[in-house]
Amino acid sequence: MKKIFACLVISLVTSISVFSQSSAVMSEIIGTEKASYAQAAYLPAIYANLVSDEASQEEAFKALYDNGYFKGNANPQDSLSLSQLSYIYIKAFKIKGGLFCRMFKSPRYAFKELKAQGVLPPEADPAMPVSGHDVIDIFNQCLEMVGGNE
């Protein structure tokens, strides 16, 4: 019982701190049809305590880029795929994943891990472009998944 209560308290505190961003930034992200790397970097950078919640999306992108959250060349304004978003979230939430996810540390296996965990739907495609709504929805699901394991 204490463990469940502790999980709820931790989830609540984390949710409050993560979602204290300005509503203008969140509204911009939600309304985006194809999310950019900078938009996708905003929430994980705050969650991982790499930037403050007053940081811009570009500052969040730079913080994640400097800490190795992106594979290959990433430009803040480029749109990203579902596998790339999965890789960012696996790193931000420190999700260990299966054997291949830990061995190869690639967007492909990060995508497969989130799909196996039920965060992504079975029909999801790794090359699929991600909307702003997807960025926030998948972030919340990862947050719930990690909060449930603590």
Q: What whole-number distance in Å separates Cα of residue 49 and Cα of residue 134? A: 22
Reading the chain (150 residues) residue by residue, the pLDDT tens digits are 555 544 444 554 445 444 455 688 888 999 999 999 999 999 999 999 999 988 999 999 999 999 999 877 889 999 999 999 999 999 999 998 888 888 888 999 999 999 999 999 999 999 999 999 999 999 999 999 998 544
- Other C-beta atoms closer than 10 Å to the C-beta of 106 total 15
Residue 18 burial class via C-beta count within 10 angstroms: exposed 0-12, middle 13-18, buried 19 and up: middle
Q: What whole-number distance in Å separates Cα of residue 29 and Cα of residue 36? A: 9
The DSSP symbol for 70 reads S
pTM of the model: 0.81
Q: How many domains does the chain have?
A: 1
Six-digit token string for 17: 């701190």
Question: Domain residues for 79?
Answer: 2-149
